[in-house]
Amino acid sequence: MEFSELIRTGRAQAELLRGPEAPPLRGTLCVTSHHLLLSPGTEASPDLWLLLLRSVDSIEKRVAGDSGTITLRCKDLRVLQLDIEGVEATLDIARSIEGLRLGDAWHFHPPERYYQRVARETNAWRLSEVNEDFSLCPSYPRALIVPRSVDDHALARSAGFRQGGRFPVLSYHHAPNGTALLRSSQPLTGPQKRRCAEDEELLRAVLVGARPGARGFIIDTRSAQAAKQARMTGGGTEAKAAYPGWKRLHRPLERGRPLQESFVRLVEACGDLEQSMDRWLSRLEGCRWLEHVKEALSTACLAAQGMEREGACILVHGAEGTDSTLLVTSLAQLILDPLSRTMDGFQELVEREWIQAGHPFQLRCAHSAFSHARPKHEAPTFLLFLDCVWQLGRQFPLSLEFGEGLLLALFEHAYASPFGSFLCNSEKERGLCEVRTRTHSLWSGLNQPKEQRKLRNPLYALNPLAIWPSVEPQSLRLWQGLFLRWTRPPEPSETAWEKVWQIVTDSEKTEGSA
Amino acid sequence: MEHIRTTKVEQVKLLDRFSTNNKSLTGTLYLTATHLLFIDSHQKETWILHHHIASVEKLALTTSGCPLVIQCKNFRIVHFIVPRERDCHDIYNSLLQLSKQAKYEDLYAFSYNPKQNDSERLQGWQLIDLAEEYKRMGVPNSNWQLSDANREYKICETYPRELYVPRIASKPIIVGSSKFRSKGRFPVLSYYHQDKEAAICRCSQPLSGFSARCLEDEHLLQAISKANPVNRYMYVMDTRPKLNAMANRAAGKGYENEDNYSNIRFQFVGIENIHVMRSSLQKLLEVNGTKGLSVNDFYSGLESSGWLRHIKAVMDAAIFLAKAIMVENASVLVHCSDGWDRTSQVCSLGSLLLDSYYRTVKGFMVLIEKDWIAFGHKFSERCGHLDGDPKEVSPVFTQFLECVWHLTEQFPQAFEFNEAFLLQIHEHIHSCQFGNFLGNCQKEREELKLKEKTYSLWPFLLDDLKKYLNPIYNSQSQRFTVLEPSTVSFNFKFWRNMYHQFDRTLHPRQSVFNIIMNMNEQNKQLEKDIKELESKIKQCKNKQTDDILTKELLHSIHPESPTLKSSLCFKEQTLLPVNDALRTIEGSNPTDNRYSDYAEEFSKAEPAVVSLEYGVARMTC
């Protein structure tokens, strides 16, 4: 359910009693998705009164005549009383608070939520629950966004033709020109070059849905040779003749063990404080991490450019479609979509494109860089994503609503977390382990007001344009805040950050009072 | 003007330096007496000062025209294609002549006229007063005095007239010592640390050869160590690698023998010479200029150029110097060979670490005037102002600026000035637009009558102060009195904004600096407004006027705030336009970037085949 639907009423006139010591406050009461807000009339003090809904422990309502009273008992032992004008308003506000105070971020249902956005933009897509019981694809969520003209039966056939059942689904709809970004796994063409009519139809329907005569590009994140070789083991790539209108591009991205080794070698190099300049530079080169950053970013730019400039639809896949595929689709969205660069939008992006999309966090993040165990399934794909986002943030320091703090937190929590968000490898496993009922969501942890100063970018201002980063080696930098976090003195940069915050809040304050 | 044969060429193409598919802008090229100017079809102007040109190259004729590559000392590289070879040849010849002047009098500074009268010009030159600066340090005092030994440049031509020496060092000792030092550059005071009563002194190498001694020189060093009442031991830092210093002994020069000097501790710190530095920068620029540079090639090029290694060596030496004074309370004597390159680097950087005054805008100017200009860093030779020996050119001062930049990165709140300030100074050591950096020593500058014929750079920088201020500077913080930077290798980064300052596409597309600067400005303005209003309200209340008036007042000011607010939201404001080295473009264009070249692939048939063809093509040719 959409959060905002829980808000029954916009506003009402109310008086707030805060106990015997504090004077009562009169003003307009508002309920937002996380806060209860009381804004006093102009003549009184200009301060807003704010209460985090999650801190409400219990709520009690009484109605008498044409007004009502709501008593809120908070987790910090405060008791507050609201006298509200109007019976209907009282009941609405009570219901809103009731619904929202329990509402924590587990109530995010990104497929549905994102679909609502897509549905507002176009009619070409529908939400399919064909994977309701995870039988078609164990690594996909229950609901998926697919072309409206393709029925569930065809989806099932297409799923049979794709590795792990990951048939092409919508990742992002680019409203300005109606193009679509899709992701899937490799087709199971095999040595016999098998075909699947429903799969071909699905991709054809994507182009038709976008606009007449639209073209499509398939970005295969493997080299042409690797894709060819995959045929021997039953995989492969789309044959040109079978998918008219679609062209294939190969952009090999590093994955799996070599990527993990790159990470390990970088961290090793960063741990050596005594090494000479030459040794450091040669190790930085030798680990190839920044090369991977560059490749990931430029592939994402290629995808984004295909949509924005060429007006083409883009399908991204590698082999399983759970690693480098997600890297490319999520970065392309950050580049194109201003909403995904907001605090909420970015969290939703991570939830939708990584957690729900079935990136196997449990396997990939079982060990980090120091483990002596021989890596099996470990790979820092998600970290590579965060690094690329950090590079975007450095090149567009005003365009991301979140700061380095959020990226660091996501890195930490992906590897070890008291929260449940990154547990398990897929939605199916999360269901079986009852993650939603037995753990807390990371997002509700992060969205505490006291965390905000660390996580937010004080200089953020909405930038409606696409952000095209430079991918020249001179423009990419080692993410010192992460890789040298424990080896360099953090103090000067932290106090500088504090200073920036102070200037920004001062500026808000002075503007407010002027 | 006699060098200019063609003043205007149309239909000239300016190639994008990093594009692999030869993207270009078409426009008109103009040649003036001082500048080369290119105006493209969007009316964007690119000005290149002749003095900034380091090299001009005419490449082999192509079908589209004659390529002309110009490399500038401020690291701008432009690649023109001139349609007709004749025009190209004319421009090439003119630029060769104009960029390399034979006489000082032909330099821009002698014709530059900013419309100031003589008294303003003089005031500008008096802005920095070194006598004032020594007073600030606390000299003369009971241990140090002003010596008149070099008043007529008789002892050392490359030193300034005013020199500070230990009070107990007599003139015969000074004269004797100067005869034992290369170019007569005997030990003198560079910086005096008042709290520690310790001194930084500088000189050139001793002419010791294998066994020569000089009692006066030994006495002078002893006088320096005696001038420090706390620690009798002093350090002698030879900033050269030991091998180089030893090689100098064969030429009758060399370094101090610890046995002959009492109470000294001798130390090599291993900074390479000007020739190594020159070729290191050359290598660095070659790597950076490569089209389609891969990350690996970039880092292996950065490594093999050795540039960051040299920067670290300078920084390490300065830290050693600062520690000797702060931790051991010892005075330090610094020298290299002639004592005007590495010695200037280490002394100035060491003082900057020790004294927060040098981290202010004014203080930094003073530091440059003192340790670089007055003490005879050969700016004209090192920057190649005149057509001279190319082997004398070396980026010694650039390295100093880069070290300062690294410090600003490590201590973002410790400096009153920002990166743009450093870049602007770098621009002007080569521009020859102002007199400060012309000539190689004070004597030469006096002979050129620079103070009468040219202008000083500093007042012009101060006029534009807003551009150069660090918005998060914290002058109060006690922690920043002495900087203790970390020189772990990974703290050294490639200074993109210097070496690619004109390659717009490589830079961040949004400037935090401008935003914060504006916010700060507006905060101050608004706070002032608030104060004014409050005082007006008070006045009104005193006068017992009714509060309608107050309300009116409040309303009268209200229309102001929305405009301020909206100006804050627009990031493309022009309130503080820093020179075009600091970019403030919002958003960006995918065609700016190299991945746009991939876009061609969108129109290619089957990429698999294409890449195969590439492979074949490479193998056959």
Q: Tens digit of pLDDT for each residue in B33-74?
A: 899 999 999 999 999 999 999 999 999 988 889 999 999 999
> Considering the domain boundaries, does residue B611 fall inside one?
no
> Considering the domain boundaries, does residue B450 fall inside one?
yes
* Residue listed under structure tokens 């109310």: A14
**A117: which residues sit within 8 A by CB, 6+ positions away?**
A173
Pair of tokens at residue A56: 């409400």
> How would DSSP label each residue in B155-204?
S-TTS-S-EEEETT--HHHHHHHHHTBGGG---EEEEEETTTTEEEEEE-
Contact A285 B595 (CB under 8 A): no
Decide if B220 contacts B173 (C-beta within 8 A): yes
Helix axes B274-288, B396-410, angle to 10 degrees: 70
Interface test with A, best of B305, B413, B519, B596 (most A CBs within 10 A): B519
Backbone angles phi, psi at A62, to 5 degrees: -135, 145
Same domain, B298 and B398: yes
Average of pLDDT values for A286-313?
95
ipTM over 0.90: no
Assess whether pLDDT exceeds 80 at residue B542. Answer: no
Which residues partner with A315 through β-bridges? A182, A218
Which of B586, B582, B560 lies closest to B464 in space, CA to CA?
B582
Q: Which of B48, B83, B101 is the last residue of a domain?
A: B101
Domain count of the fold of chain B: 2
Rg of chain B over Cα atoms, rounded to whole angstroms, equals 28
Contact A247 B602 (CB under 8 A): yes
Write the CA distances from A215 to A307, B106, B288, B578, B599, integer angstroms: 10, 62, 37, 44, 14
Interface size between A and B, measured as CB pairs under 8 A: 215
Same domain, B140 and B81: no
Average of pLDDT values for B421-449?
96
Same domain, B140 and B221: yes
Interface test with B, best of A307, A472, A505 (most B CBs within 10 A): A472
Element holding A16 (H helix, E strand): strand A11-17
Which of A197, A214, A386, A236 lies closest to A317 in space, CA to CA?
A236
Greater confidence (B7 vs A514) lies with: B7
B338 labelled binding-site residue: yes
Contact B598 A298 (CB under 8 A): yes
Same domain, B93 and B215: no
Among A67-71, A106-110, B80-84, B573-577, the range scoring the smallest mean pLDDT is: B573-577
Q: How far is B310 from chain A (nearest CA, A)?
A: 9
Query: Which residues of chain B are within 8 Å of residue A507 when distances are taken between CB atoms?
Result: 519-520, 522-523, 526, 568
Q: What share of chain A is helix, strand, coil (3-state, %, to 5)?
A: 45, 15, 40
**B113: which residues sit within 8 A by CB, 6+ positions away?**
none
Average of pLDDT values for B359-370?
97
How high is the pLDDT of residue B89?
93
d(CA A167, CA A159): 5
The amino acid occupying position A463 is N
Query: Which residues of chain A are within 8 Å of residue B359 when distances are taken between CB atoms?
Result: none
Contact B296 A504 (CB under 8 A): no
d(CA B561, CA B578): 25
Write the CA distances from B609 to A66, A254, B254, B605, B613, integer angstroms: 79, 22, 65, 8, 6
Contact B18 A472 (CB under 8 A): yes
Decide if B441 contacts B432 (C-beta within 8 A): no
> Considering the domain boundaries, does residue B371 fall inside one?
yes
Query: A418 exposed, middle or buried (CB, 10 Å; 0-12, 13-18, 19+)?
Result: exposed
Decide if A76 contacts A12 (C-beta within 8 A): no
Q: How far is A495 from chain B (nearest CA, A)?
A: 8
The amino acid occupying position B8 is K
**Band (B509; pLDDT cuts 50, 70, 90):** confident
d(CA B480, CA B357): 11
Contact A487 B312 (CB under 8 A): no
Query: B152 exposed, middle or buried (CB, 10 Å; 0-12, 13-18, 19+)?
Result: exposed
**Band (B590; pLDDT cuts 50, 70, 90):** low
Decide if A189 contacts A236 (C-beta within 8 A): yes
d(CA B586, CA B509): 6
Average of pLDDT values for B518-544?
77
Greater confidence (A303 vs A5) lies with: A303
Rg of chain A over Cα atoms, rounded to whole angstroms, equals 25
Query: Rounded to the nearest 10 degrees, how much is the dihedral formed by the CA atoms of B407, B341, B240, B75?
Result: 60
Same domain, B222 and B83: no
Query: Which residues of chain A are within 8 Å of residue B530 when distances are taken between CB atoms?
Result: 510, 513-514
Assess whether pLDDT exceeds 90 at residue A106. Answer: no
Q: How far is A418 from chain B (nearest CA, A)?
A: 32
**Band (B588; pLDDT cuts 50, 70, 90):** low
How high is the pLDDT of residue B580?
34
CA quadruple A142, A144, A148, A150: dihedral sign: negative
Q: Which of B101, B121, B145 is the last residue of a domain?
A: B101
Q: What is the mean pLDDT of chain A?
A: 87
Q: Could you list the residue range(s) of the whole structural domain that residue B12 is in?
A: 8-101
SS3 state at B388: coil
d(CA B420, CA B580): 10
Decide if B492 contacts B406 (C-beta within 8 A): yes
Average of pLDDT values for A155-168?
95
How high is the pLDDT of residue A11?
75
Same domain, B285 and B158: yes
> Considering the domain boundaries, does residue B616 fall inside one?
no
> Considering the domain boundaries, does residue B564 fall inside one?
no
Quick check: bond before A380 cis, omega within 30? no
What's A375's DSSP letter?
P
Element holding B236 (H helix, E strand): strand B234-238
Which of B440, B353, B460, B324 lies closest to B389 in space, CA to CA?
B440
B340 labelled binding-site residue: yes
**Band (B6; pLDDT cuts 50, 70, 90):** confident
* Residue listed under structure tokens 């592939």: A299
Name the residue in chain B with its Cα closest to that of A504: B519
Assess whether pLDDT exceeds 60 at residue B19. Answer: yes
What's B598's DSSP letter?
G
How high is the pLDDT of residue B618?
30
The pTM assigned to this predicted structure is 0.83
Which of A319, A377, A354 lies closest to A166 in space, CA to CA?
A319
Assess whether pLDDT exceeds 60 at residue B617. Answer: no
Write the CA distances from B244 to B249, B253, B270, integer angstroms: 9, 11, 9
Pair of tokens at residue A225: 């040779």
CB atoms within 10 A of CB A181: 25
Average of pLDDT values for A58-86?
82
Decide if B22 contacts B54 (C-beta within 8 A): no
> How would DSSP label each residue in A150-209?
S-HHHHHHHHHTBGGG---EEEEEETTTTEEEEE---B--TTTT---HHHHHHHHHHHHH
> Considering the domain boundaries, does residue B106 fall inside one?
no
Contact B509 A396 (CB under 8 A): yes
Same domain, B302 and B406: yes
d(CA B549, CA A507): 27
SS3 state at A29: strand
d(CA A251, CA A294): 12
Contact B471 A250 (CB under 8 A): no
Query: Which residues of chain A are within 8 Å of residue B561 when distances are taken between CB atoms?
Result: 511, 514
Closest partner residue to B589 (CB to CB) among A273, A310, A468 is A468
* Residue listed under structure tokens 């980064």: B493
Average of pLDDT values for A480-501?
78
Assess whether pLDDT exceeds 70 at residue B559. Answer: no
Q: What is the CATH number of the domain that holds B92?
A: 2.30.29.30
Assess whether pLDDT exceeds 80 at residue A381. Answer: yes
Q: What is the mean pLDDT of chain B?
A: 86
Average of pLDDT values for B579-592?
43
**Band (B264; pLDDT cuts 50, 70, 90):** very high
Contact B489 A399 (CB under 8 A): no
Closest partner residue to B523 (CB to CB) among A305, A398, A510 is A510
Write the CA distances from B576 to A203, B371, B465, integer angstroms: 51, 32, 10
Share of chain A above pLDDT 70, in %: 91
Assess whether pLDDT exceeds 60 at residue B550. Answer: no
**Band (B4; pLDDT cuts 50, 70, 90):** confident
Which of A29, A53, A23 lies closest to A41 in space, CA to CA?
A29
Same domain, B339 and B261: yes
How high is the pLDDT of residue B609?
28
pLDDT, tens digit, for every residue of B469-493?
998 898 876 566 899 999 999 899 9
How high is the pLDDT of residue A37?
83
**B515: which residues sit within 8 A by CB, 6+ positions away?**
A398, A459, B571
Average of pLDDT values for B166-171?
94
Among A465-469, B18-22, B338-342, B556-560, the range scoring the smallest mean pLDDT is: B556-560
Average of pLDDT values for B164-173?
95
pLDDT, tens digit, for every residue of B101-156?
889 999 999 999 888 888 999 999 999 999 999 999 999 999 999 999 999 999 99
Write the CA distances from B554 to A232, B268, B564, integer angstroms: 79, 68, 16
Contact B598 A466 (CB under 8 A): no
Same domain, B206 and B85: no
Residue B320: HSE in the Cβ half-sphere, 13 Å Cα cutoff: 24
Which of A49, A51, A48 lies closest to A59 in space, CA to CA?
A51
Query: Which residues of chain A are within 8 Å of residue B527 when distances are taken between CB atoms?
Result: 510
Instruction: Give the best-scoring range by mean pLDDT among A323-337, B7-21, B541-555.
Output: A323-337
CA quadruple B344, B349, B352, B353: dihedral sign: negative
Decide if B32 contacts B8 (C-beta within 8 A): no
Name the residue in chain B with its Cα closest to that of A464: B587
Same domain, B175 and B37: no
> Considering the domain boundaries, does residue B552 fall inside one?
no
Query: Which residues of chain A are within 8 Å of residue B529 when distances are taken between CB atoms?
Result: 514
Interface test with B, best of A215, A265, A277, A471 (most B CBs within 10 A): A277
**A198: which residues sit within 8 A by CB, 6+ positions away?**
A150, A153, A154, A155, A157, A158, A161
Write the CA distances from A340 to A17, A400, A466, integer angstroms: 40, 9, 11
pLDDT, tens digit, for every residue of B303-336?
999 999 999 999 999 999 999 999 999 999 999 9
Which of B160, B154, B441, B205 lies closest to B333 in space, CA to CA?
B205
Among A70-79, A95-104, B401-410, the range scoring the smallest mean pLDDT is: A95-104
Same domain, B96 and B241: no
Same domain, B139 and B224: yes
Name the residue in chain B with its Cα closest to that of A491: B411
How high is the pLDDT of residue B566?
35
> Considering the domain boundaries, does residue B249 fall inside one?
yes
Catalytic residue among B88, B201, B336, B403: B336
B336 annotated active-site: yes
d(CA B437, CA B445): 9
pLDDT, tens digit, for every residue of A176-229?
999 999 999 999 999 999 999 999 999 999 999 888 888 999 999 999 999 999
pLDDT, tens digit, for every residue of B80-107?
999 999 999 999 999 999 988 889 999 9
Decide if B270 contacts B342 (C-beta within 8 A): no
